[in-house]
């Protein structure tokens, strides 16, 4: 059978590209090296039988913030989202916690003297998200709403450190630090504020949901929808060279620039290949999954109601930890992103038991065992946590790359998202998705708008291919 388009890689962006192309009448084949579709959206029994853990992505604020996913009805294909009572919590050493609630006003009120500053920072993004989303989650272009984008960009392109100066209280500063740390950038780097602003806004616009049964359900629903359109998926197929593929008008690759060079570099111009070789990757991650004999005993009660908990204490402490990664240093007190899905989803663990999921950032490729450091951070805010561990599974940066070849050196963002690569990932071109070889496109997180389960990299790459056709 002949195909109009072939998509290599069935992560969120590969599947988004395949769906977009199939929706427009092309006959599309998806090839996936793994035994299941999913990429970063997989769920497995990593610790003990009956304990289901999200291998990579676990909490999905960008899923429902994404124009691509908003255009699908994946609930018809088995996807069920669960919204924790508290989207995210940020505990401090004194037992207090800052909390991301459903409304801007409710969240801001807890910041006291910083209530107005928080509302001014996040409120306009929340109010105008429908207008802003297609401009923010897109490659560089003249915006549809230039004045709104100018207002957003004036703050978003600043450093997290600069934005923190708006706040006077330790609670607001620490909370902001936890949000900004998702960027994996040092807090003095330009553009570091963007992800923090968007994640705060996501909590107010749509929440930070987890998926019933695990993140694999997102991939399964996307695949089921794609197949319903007439597409085809083959798993267990590793593509080492594009020349081994059958002819197609469009070849869409959900891979990192390093892999792109490996499997298609001989088709590229010398200049494009050289530019790809200069692509920079950011910090990696060290991840731990736990099987527990009870819920995590956080000191602060609101942390026991949160799907996500940011463990880093003060803004200064988080800043030090995140900067260390870029200096190739390991810190004994890393910033830990922690999720406790089983509190809200009883399918994740046997009755009376729980799962927990957590990771910290480390220098790219560094394989230092961070298990003790991560568990010490959890214990710091949840005394007695260690006693509840009955199973453990760890993944260092090498394990992450072995699991998903796109995670170069453990970098789950598909490359550094600093000001130098925010708009020019993977290289500076009129279209970041179109390679120098006719008919070959890049649709991974190494293109705008970057990492996260939003599908917009795949969507924009597919729209570029359709335009070229």
Domain ranges of the chain: 5-80+211-279+412-468, 84-207+282-403
pLDDT surpassing 80 at residue 174: yes
DSSP conformational letter for 166: T
What percent of the chain has a predicted confidence (pLDDT) above 90? 98
pLDDT surpassing 90 at residue 190: yes
* Section 133-151 average pLDDT: 93
- Structure confidence at residue 1 (pLDDT): 76
Convert the pLDDT of each residue in 11-26 to its tens digit: 999 999 999 999 999 9
What sign results for the dihedral spanned by CA atoms 163, 208, 60, 356? positive
- Pairing mode of beta strands 53-54, 81-82: unpaired
- Structure confidence at residue 2 (pLDDT): 87
* Section 310-335 average pLDDT: 97
pLDDT surpassing 90 at residue 364: yes
pLDDT surpassing 90 at residue 274: yes
What percent of the chain has a predicted confidence (pLDDT) above 70? 100
CATH architecture of 5-80+211-279+412-468: 3-Layer(bba) Sandwich (3.50)
- Write down the pTM of the prediction: 0.96
Give yes or no for a contact between 233 and 223, defined as CB atoms under 8 angstroms apart: yes
Convert the pLDDT of each residue in 67-115 to its tens digit: 999 989 999 999 999 999 999 999 999 999 999 999 999 999 999 999 9
Work out the mean pLDDT of the chain and round it to a whole number: 97
- Structure confidence at residue 17 (pLDDT): 98
Confidence of residue 461 (pLDDT cuts 50, 70, 90): very high
Per-residue burial over 317-335, b if 16 or more Cβ lie within 10 Å, else e, is bbbbbbbbbbeeebbebbb
Listed residue (314, 328, 305) closest to 85, CA to CA: 305
- Structure confidence at residue 172 (pLDDT): 98
Convert the pLDDT of each residue in 395-432 to its tens digit: 999 999 999 999 999 999 999 999 999 888 999 999 99
C-alpha–C-alpha distance, residues 83 and 430, integer Å = 39
Residues 6+ apart with CB under 8 A from 303: 86, 89, 91, 97, 296, 309, 381, 382
* Section 279-287 average pLDDT: 98
Tell me: domain 84-207+282-403, CATH 3.90.660, correct?
yes
Q: Give kind and range of the element (H or E) at residue 233.
A: strand 232-235
- Structure confidence at residue 366 (pLDDT): 98
- Structure confidence at residue 285 (pLDDT): 98
146-156 vs 129-136: helix crossing angle, rounded to 10? 70
- Structure confidence at residue 242 (pLDDT): 97
* Section 190-211 average pLDDT: 97
Q: What is the CA radius of gyration of the chain?
A: 21
* Section 163-174 average pLDDT: 98
C-alpha–C-alpha distance, residues 9 and 237, integer Å = 9
């Amino acid at each position: 059978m002949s195909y109009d388009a072939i998509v290599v890689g069935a992560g969120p962006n590969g599947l988004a590209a395949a769906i977009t192309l199939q929706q427009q009448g092309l006959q599309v084949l998806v090839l996936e090296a793994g035994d299941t579709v999913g990429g970063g959206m997989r769920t497995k029994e990593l610790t003990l039988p009956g304990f289901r853990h999200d291998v990579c992505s676990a909490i999905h604020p960008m899923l429902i913030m994404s124009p691509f996913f908003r255009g699908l009805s994946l609930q018809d294909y088995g996807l069920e989202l669960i919204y924790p009572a508290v989207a995210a919590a940020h505990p401090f050493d004194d037992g207090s916690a800052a909390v991301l609630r459903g409304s801007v006003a409710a969240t801001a009120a807890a910041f006291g003297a910083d209530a107005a500053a928080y509302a001014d920072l996040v409120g306009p993004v929340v109010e105008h998200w429908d207008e802003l989303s297609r401009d923010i989650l897109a490659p560089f272009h003249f915006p549809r709403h230039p004045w709104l984008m100018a207002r957003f960009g004036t703050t978003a392109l600043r450093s997290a450190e600069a934005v923190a100066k708006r706040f006077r209280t330790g609670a607001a500063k620490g909370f902001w630090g936890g949000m900004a740390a998702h960027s994996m950038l040092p807090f003095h780097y330009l553009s570091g504020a963007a992800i923090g602003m968007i994640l705060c806004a996501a909590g107010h616009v749509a929440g930070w949901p987890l998926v019933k049964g695990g993140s694999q359900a997102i991939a399964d629903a996307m695949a089921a929808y794609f197949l319903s359109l007439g597409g085809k998926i083959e798993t267990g197929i590793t593509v080492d060279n594009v020349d081994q593929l059958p002819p197609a008008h469009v070849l869409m690759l959900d891979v990192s620039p390093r892999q792109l060079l490996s499997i298609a570099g001989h088709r590229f111009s010398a200049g494009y290949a050289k530019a790809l070789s200069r692509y920079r990757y950011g910090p990696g991650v060290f991840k731990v999954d736990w099987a527990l004999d009870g819920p995590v005993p956080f000191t602060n009660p609101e942390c026991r109601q949160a799907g996500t908990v940011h463990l880093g204490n003060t803004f200064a402490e988080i800043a030090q930890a995140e900067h260390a990664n870029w200096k190739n240093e390991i810190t004994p007190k890393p910033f830990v992103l922690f999720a406790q899905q089983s509190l809200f989803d009883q399918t994740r663990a046997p009755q009376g038991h729980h799962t927990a999921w957590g990771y910290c950032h480390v220098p790219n490729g560094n394989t230092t065992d961070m298990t003790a450091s991560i568990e010490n951070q959890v214990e710091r805010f949840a005394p007695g946590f260690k006693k509840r561990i009955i199973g453990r599974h760890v993944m260092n940066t090498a394990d992450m790359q072995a699991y998903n070849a796109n995670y170069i050196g453990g970098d789950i963002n598909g490359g550094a998202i600093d000001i130098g690569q925010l708009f020019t990932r993977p290289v500076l071109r009129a279209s970041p998705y179109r390679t120098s070889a006719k008919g070959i496109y890049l649709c991974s997180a190494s293109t705008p708008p970057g990492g996260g389960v939003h599908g917009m990299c795949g969507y924009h790459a597919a729209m570029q291919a359709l335009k070229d056709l």
